[in-house]
Chains A and B, each alone.
Chain A
């Protein structure tokens, strides 16, 4: 079937995820996929396209419609020695499964005093920017990051998606794998050999662009926006460092702190609403560890503390290039 020889090709993120799932299904007979419409249809975003055909209905399982059932049964499968990768169809539909995720999946390792691991990956398409309707654009990452016992991952490029998905499936801990919908069809190079990675990559942020004037820390679809902002500022002679957090829990604040020690400035960007968000946690850790190196207050560019708006207002509501540039200017003005 598939091999892991070095093959670098331009690939969309959705296809890179498909390739990662395929390669793990090939590698480990205990891996199986469960979710609504993931079989013949290949999932509503086609991330599982063709997998049911190649691996059969016992390894790529179209489930009944029930999110608690999808996660709850994955817990039982993991207890029985399997490595289930489950799909929640949209971010706004994960909430019926929150009980199983928060009270069961996250806690069983702790409750069993480390005797039982639950290597479950919960895939969730997340975020806005695609003009979707109610419940189809949400940024729920802080709920998961606030729950001890879970890992939370959000890739920004096809290569990151491929590498992190393979690492997530091999991880012994439950992983909430957030797939930025807006980035599903963005193409980038994917090197599958380099992506057959060690699971340590889950814990490390990535410096996506180097610079010494200011640090932008972000993740997911906003990484591309931050890189655009860095391009614009570079045209004005200001070199901005962009850090792609990659994993939201655990949060690799050390990489951000090391950057801020050099730049003295930090702007954090995420789509999720501001209060109680990931940005606040990162800001608190940076001021704890680099208080005397800061030249300006840590600023946040985020969604507002409102529900996601109707899609016609989405573009101005979500943090975009202009709001990010404004925040960088404000930081640099100190």
Chain B
């Protein structure tokens, strides 16, 4: 199968997704966001995987898949709400099939497995109709490999031959714990023990990540079952804006990976081959400026939910006791607003 990646489009996506990340860090520094998990350095893995999706596929992300969200058409302003504290989610997971970020490590791998069971029961696997066949792409980090739930997900996916692709971004660090704490063997090698293929790719090579994901998704959609992809990459920033990575790793390691940066690498290659020129980059830079402006304005404009918002979404039908607590709370809030400043 010939990979279908448009390298110019991939470079544009990587640059713009990186700008989302950079702006979010700046917004956190300005006090507009409580926290931000940066994905700097992982654009190759994420755009590679994200660009292999078809509209009917479903994505289960962790909390760092900002570039995948970008590729799948989620408004980047919506990514900010969870971290600004205006929402517990931020977008409609049913609308695009991009599920909400999962902060509990590995929990989403099982949701992906269940969704894949649903796809099988819907008969949307192996029909040969590209408009019908679907698959699930679930993201995990190297730390999630140690979670029991991830290993249960591997067992289920294998035993039922489910249309699910596990995309592990091995970014070398689970907060302060190096990959050696999680595993003695490469992540991809784990898959064979569960009975399905594991593939290791250079996570900073967007074309390699795309090709591996496209092939694995095609196999899943065709009824060929699960694949584990290990994209070897590096998280160049701290775990989140609250983390101090220089306590557990030295700057030289970071410098080494900076030299392997996926964006620089692709830009250099495309300039050398003449596929892009300075005008292309200037256009993307202008787009970046526009995007940054939209993020800054959009972030500050994110609506604060109504006082009784949590009550409305706890259960499908509000119970009398919850209705009583809601009234009590609204009365309390109203009294506070009417009282002296």
Listed in ascending order, the chain A residues whose CB lies under 8 Å from chain B are 32, 58, 63-64, 66, 68-69, 71-82, 84, 96, 99-100, 103-104, 107-117, 148-149, 151, 171-173, 203, 250-251, 253-254, 285
Contacts and interface: CB of A to CB of B under 8 A. Distances in A.
28 contacts: A32-B121, A69-B110, A69-B156, A71-B110, A72-B114, A72-B149, A72-B152, A73-B117, A76-B113, A76-B117, A78-B114, A80-B115, A99-B104, A100-B107, A104-B102, A107-B88, A110-B88, A110-B313, A112-B89, A113-B87, A113-B89, A113-B313, A149-B314, A171-B316, A173-B315, A173-B316, A250-B322, A251-B321
B315 A149 contact: yes
Contacts of B119: 80
Listed from nearest, the 5 A-B pairs whose CB atoms lie closest are A76-B114, A72-B110, A80-B118, A73-B114, A250-B319
A114 B110 contact: no
A76 B93 contact: no
Nearest to B155: A64
B153 A110 contact: no
A149 B102 CA distance: 17
Nearest to B89: A111
Given A72-B149, A72-B152, A109 B115 contact: no
A39 B199 CA distance: 35
Contact of A64 (B92, B115, B152, B322): B152
A58 B123 CA distance: 12
Given A69-B110, A79-B115, A112-B92, 17 more contacts: A66-B155, A68-B148, A69-B152, A69-B155, A76-B113, A79-B99, A81-B118, A82-B118, A103-B107, A104-B102, A110-B310, A112-B93, A115-B93, A148-B314, A171-B316, A250-B320, A250-B322
Contacts of B273: none
A329 B111 CA distance: 52
A104 B152 contact: no
Interface in B60-114: 87-89, 92-94, 99-100, 102, 104, 107, 109-114
Interface residues of B, number: 44
Given A66-B152, A76-B110, A103 B104 contact: yes
Nearest to A172: B316
Contacts of A79: 93-94, 99, 111, 114-115, 118
Interface of B: 87-89, 92-94, 99-100, 102, 104, 107, 109-122, 148-149, 152-153, 155-156, 159, 309-310, 312-317, 319-322
A149 B312 CA distance: 11
B125 to A, nearest CB: 12
A109 B121 contact: no
Contact of A253 (B114, B116, B321): B321
Nearest to A149: B314
Given A64-B156, A69-B149, A111-B89, A77 B117 contact: yes
A96 B149 CA distance: 9
B315 A203 contact: no
A58 B87 CA distance: 37
A92 B310 CA distance: 32
A85 to B, nearest CB: 13
A75 B111 contact: yes
Contacts, number: 139
Contacts of A76: 110-118
A109 B113 CA distance: 20
Nearest to B101: A111
B92 to A, nearest CB: 5
A254 B313 CA distance: 23
Contacts of A254: 320
Given A79-B111, A79-B115, A173-B315, A69 B153 contact: yes
A109 B313 contact: yes
Most chain B Cβ neighbours within 10 Å, of A103, A111, A203: A111
B92 A115 contact: yes
A77 B87 CA distance: 25
Contacts of B315: 109, 149, 151, 173
A109 B314 contact: yes
Nearest to A74: B114
A70 to B, nearest CB: 9
A250 to B, nearest CB: 4
Contacts of B104: 99, 103-104
A79 B117 CA distance: 11
Nearest to B109: A72
A327 B316 CA distance: 38
Contact of A82 (B100, B121, B153, B317): B121
A107 to B, nearest CB: 8
A58 B120 CA distance: 9
Q: Which of B122, B149, B155 has the most CB of A within 10 A?
A: B149
Given A73-B114, A80-B115, A117 B316 contact: yes
Given A68-B149, A173-B317, A250-B320, A111 B100 contact: yes
A99 B152 CA distance: 14
A72 B88 contact: no
A171 B316 CA distance: 9
A72 B89 CA distance: 19
Contacts of A103: 104, 107
A32 B319 CA distance: 27
Contacts of B312: 114
A76 B107 CA distance: 11
B111 A72 contact: yes
Contacts of A32: 121
A173 B117 CA distance: 21
Given A79-B115, A80-B115, A82-B121, A72 B159 contact: no
A162 to B, nearest CB: 22
A99 B107 contact: yes
Contacts of A96: 148
A75 B110 contact: yes
